[in-house]
């Protein structure tokens, strides 16, 4: 940890015009991270160290210090997270960087996922849109829960989305044999809706991610971790950004020697053939 922090400090000193944030830890304090769980007190120690360097003038006063973690770790989860160390950490960081992934909870906590019988008359696209509307509401609820906890301990500072995203393919829990959450249409709708909400509410959002990264789950090429990109690895633009191709935003650019072009050759009808509908819930109560 000390070596990592020292290197981060060196880079922030060398490139103050580039490095604007140091985040101590990434999804380290969430309870399900059993193999690499870190107590909030450890994160707090290093956050305080960096804040002291700012006070001494060894780091820019404009450099923001935070930790990037799951919404539950920031007080939005169960009472077991609500500790004195977490409260001190919330007071120590310059802003809260919380992660929210409704896509994962289409399997782990699918209270919002699926279509009601009343929606059976809807078109395929409309059914998917309703499910994504509920997914966005689920993410907003997680944000609100962090905000409410923060305010309950007498703190008022910015909360931003440190990570969110939606994979376009999965052979496992989120694919056609699982929750049927992953395809370009659902991913595109989620991207557009979360961007619209964060812009409207002036919330910074680091969206995961620009390009598919095959190294994320190299042993399982069809795993969801490899397919979170808004672009394919060779620069095909997925549905969520098709409008930017129409606006010539990528004109003259290439990726790995390939021109920037739309997946499915821009044919939405072909894309929709790959879309699987979420399950119908006979006693669906929705998500409020």
Token code pair at residue 249 = 């935003």
Helices then strands, counting H and E runs in the chain, come out as 8, 9
C-beta pairs of 35-44 under 8 Å, 24+ apart in sequence? 39/85, 40/73, 40/83, 40/85, 40/86, 40/88, 40/89, 41/85, 42/1, 43/67, 43/89, 44/85, 44/88, 44/89, 44/92
Q: What is the pLDDT of residue 116?
A: 86
Pairwise CA distance, residues 43 & 27, whole Å: 11
Q: Is the pTM value of this prediction over 0.85?
A: yes
pLDDT digits (tens, 9 = 90+) for 85-131: 999 999 999 999 999 999 999 999 999 998 888 898 999 999 999 99
CATH superfamily label, 2-111+141-234: Glycosidases (3.20.20.80)
Q: Nearest 5 degrees, angle CA 186-CA 141-CA 228?
A: 30
Radius of gyration (Cα) for the chain, nearest Å? 20
Among residues 236, 208, 9, 241, which one has the least CA distance to residue 104?
208
8 A C-beta contact, residue 76 and residue 142: yes
- Tokens 């393919």 found at: 169
For the chain, where are the E strands, in sequence order? 21-26, 64-70, 96-99, 159-164, 205-207, 236-237, 254-255, 258-259, 261-262
Pairwise CA distance, residues 199 & 35, whole Å: 35
Q: What is the pLDDT of residue 37?
A: 93
8 A C-beta contact, residue 232 and residue 212: yes
C-beta pairs of 122-127 under 8 Å, 24+ apart in sequence? 124/272, 124/275, 124/277, 125/185, 125/272, 127/277, 127/278
Q: What is the pLDDT of residue 30?
A: 94
Token code pair at residue 145 = 């829960």
- Tokens 């990528």 found at: 250
User: Dmax over Cα atoms in the chain, in whole Å?
Assistant: 64
* 239 CB-contact burial (10 Å; exposed 0-12 / middle 13-18 / buried 19+): buried
Q: What is the pLDDT of residue 34?
A: 87
Token code pair at residue 35 = 């193999």
Q: What residues of the chain score a pLDDT lower than 50?
A: 284, 286-288
Q: Quick check: helix, strand or coil at residue 139?
A: helix
pLDDT digits (tens, 9 = 90+) for 204-230: 999 999 999 999 999 999 999 999 999
Token code pair at residue 158 = 């910015």
96-99 vs 64-70, strand pairing mode: parallel
């Amino acid at each position: 940890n000390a070596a990592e922090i020292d290197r981060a400090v060196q880079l922030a000193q060398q490139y103050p015009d580039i490095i604007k944030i140091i985040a101590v830890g990434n999804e380290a304090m969430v309870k399900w991270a059993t193999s690499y769980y870190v107590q909030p007190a450890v994160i707090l120690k290093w956050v305080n160290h960096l804040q002291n360097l700012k006070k001494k003038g060894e780091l820019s006063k404009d450099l923001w210090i935070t930790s990037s973690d799951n919404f539950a770790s920031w007080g939005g989860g169960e009472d077991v997270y609500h500790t004195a160390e977490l409260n001190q950490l919330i007071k120590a960081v310059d802003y809260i960087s919380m992660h929210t992934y409704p896509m994962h909870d289409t399997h782990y906590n699918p209270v919002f996922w699926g279509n009601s019988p009343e929606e059976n008359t809807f078109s395929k696209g409309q059914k998917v849109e309703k499910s994504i509307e509920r997914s966005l509401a689920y993410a907003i609820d997680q944000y609100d829960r962090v905000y409410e906890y923060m305010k309950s301990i007498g703190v008022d500072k910015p909360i931003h989305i440190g990570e969110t995203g939606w994979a376009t393919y999965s052979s496992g829990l989120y694919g056609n044999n699982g929750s049927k959450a992953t395809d370009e249409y659902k991913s595109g709708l989620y991207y557009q809706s979360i961007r619209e909400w964060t812009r409207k509410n002036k919330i910074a959002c680091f969206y995961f991610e620009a390009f598919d990264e095959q190294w994320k789950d190299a042993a399982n090429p069809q795993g969801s971790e490899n397919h979170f990109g808004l672009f394919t690895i060779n620069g095909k633009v997925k549905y969520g950004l098709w409008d930017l191709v129409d606006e010539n935003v990528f004109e003259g650019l290439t990726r790995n020697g390939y021109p920037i072009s739309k997946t499915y050759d821009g044919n939405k009808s072909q894309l929709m053939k790959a879309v699987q509908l979420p399950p119908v819930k006979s006693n669906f109560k929705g998500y409020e």
